[in-house]
Structure 1
Amino acid sequence: MNFYELQQQRRSIYALGNKLSQTPEEIFNVVKKAVREAPTSFNSQSVRAVVLTGTAHQKLWEITLEQLHAIAKSEAAFQKTSDKINNSFKSGFGTVMLFTDTDVIKKLEADVPNYAENFYDWSEQGLGIADYAVWMALAEMGIGASNQHYNPLIDEAVQREFEIPKNWRLRAEMPFGSIEAPAATKDYVADNQRFRLIK
């Protein structure tokens, strides 16, 4: 499979199951390699990753449901959200949580003051690249995933439950698992609205 075919294979998969042939350790090692090789500004390596499987994965989505229930406008609205989480994210094999180490960013801001106002934005670019690299690596293994953002709603509870350092700022949650149904057809914005070649 070439790079472009792999890009097309990487889709948001919501029908997740827990029937994977890979072990948690194998998946963890793939995530580590993908994040390690992802570029960051000034080689800051500010991205942190935590892979949850088994009961830890289940606990993350229980925490998310608890936090969402607390702010739900109605039981009917919460039920819709609850169904989505229980039938998709929680039913998967695991979740990759991606963080930015804010201590790294603060040090860069102090050490290179001329670029201080840019380092947070650049860290977000680094996080996005790492996120995509992990997602592509999972897709290459035939593992389905989607990108979720329940942060900052769940941040404090996640820090307590999983003993996450306070300087790690949660940026994304990526539930993954076996692909139980394919992704929907993807629509594309017309090329002439997105791209330009200037010579």
Structure 2
Amino acid sequence: MSHVIEQLRTRRTQYALGKNVTLSADETEALIKEAIRLSPSAFNSQSSRAVILFGAESEKVWSLIGAELRQIVPAEAFAPTEAKMKSFAAGAGTVLFYEDQDTVKGLQENFPLYAEAFPGFSQHSAGMAQLAVWTALAEKGIGASLQHYSPIADAALAKAFNIPASWKLQAQMPFGSNEAGFAAKDFIDDSKRFVTLGK
């Protein structure tokens, strides 16, 4: 079995996060940066950006998102949402994934034939960067999940962390120690998913 496939098998959604990560913050930061650095992008545009937060700064992310959600989720139904925010804040850190829209616009201007496609290409780059980071963390025994609280908290996070105006938030990844196991993962039948020809 391919080592890459084995690494992909370890990448699972973990909601039960803790702060008992064996890697240091510096080592974790370096791992995340390298995973993003090595991720492919259209025309090698390297449009992906990330804000890597630890400790109280990570907890602030989920406090801010929770505050925004409290304004739109009915009070009587907010308890599950609040519990989810607390579970994310219980981890060791959070990665905020962004795509630089100035980079995307530059590609559109320089390659007008593909102008309409570049926003989609940017999304592809974002997804690959997210998978690369998630898999790299999992390979080191660090749990994570991918969240999408955009555009709900974009402005609050941008203000709190001084995010450049050209960066567009794509996803949030809380990470930490695995404080629970994983259930078996089911897969749909291959016949519904794949077509192979010519072999």
TM-score tier, shorter chain, comes to over 0.9
- Deviation string 1:135-172 (CA, Å, 9 cap, x unpaired) is 01101110000000001111000010000001000101
Aligned to 1:7: 8
Which amino acid is the alignment partner of residue 188 of structure 2?
A: V
- Partner AA of 1:83 in structure 2: A
Q: What's the counterpart of residue 85 of structure 2? A: 85
Question: Aligned pair 1:30/2:36, yes or no?
Answer: no
Question: Is the CA contact 2:53–2:94 (under 8 Å) kept in the aligned structure 1?
Answer: yes
Q: Structure 1 residue 183: deviation in Å?
A: 2.1
Which range moved further: 17-26 or 114-123?
17-26
Q: CA deviation at 1:192?
A: 0.4
Residue 170 of structure 2 is aligned to residue 162 of structure 1: no
**Contact residue 148 and residue 172 of structure 2 kept, 8 A:** yes
**Residue number in structure 2 paired with 1:125:** 124
Which amino acid in 1 is paired with 2:190? Answer: D
Q: How many residues align?
A: 197
2-structure distance, mates of 1:31, 1:115: 30
Q: TM-score with structure 2 length normalisation?
A: 0.97
Q: CA deviation at 1:76?
A: 2.5
Taking the TM superposition and a 5 Å limit, the aligned residue runs for 1:106-125 are 106-125=105-124
Q: Deviations over 1:33-67 (max 9, x none)?
A: 00011010000000001111011001000001100
Q: Which runs of 5+ in 2 are unaligned?
A: none
Cα distance in structure 1, aligned partners of 2:56 and 2:90: 12
Which runs of structure 1 show a deviation greater than 2 angstroms over 4 or more consecutive aligned residues?
none
Mapping for residues 57-76 of structure 1, pairs under 5 Å: 57-72=58-73, 74-76=74-76
Match of residue 177 from structure 1: 176
Conservation of the 8 A alpha-carbon contact between 1:41 and 1:122: yes
TM-score (norm 1): 0.97
Q: Does 1:42 align with 2:43?
A: yes
- The aligned amino acid for 1:135 is W
Q: Which amino acid aligns with 2:80?
A: K
Structure 1 residue 191 corresponds to structure 2 residue 190:
yes
Q: Contact 1:14/1:183 (CA < 8 Å) preserved in 2?
A: no
Distance 1:187 1:76 in 2: 34
The equivalent residue for 1:98 is: 97
* 1:55-111 per-position Cα deviation (integer Å, ceiling 9, x unaligned): 100100000110000111x2221111101221x211100001110000000011111
**RMSD (CA atoms):** 1.0
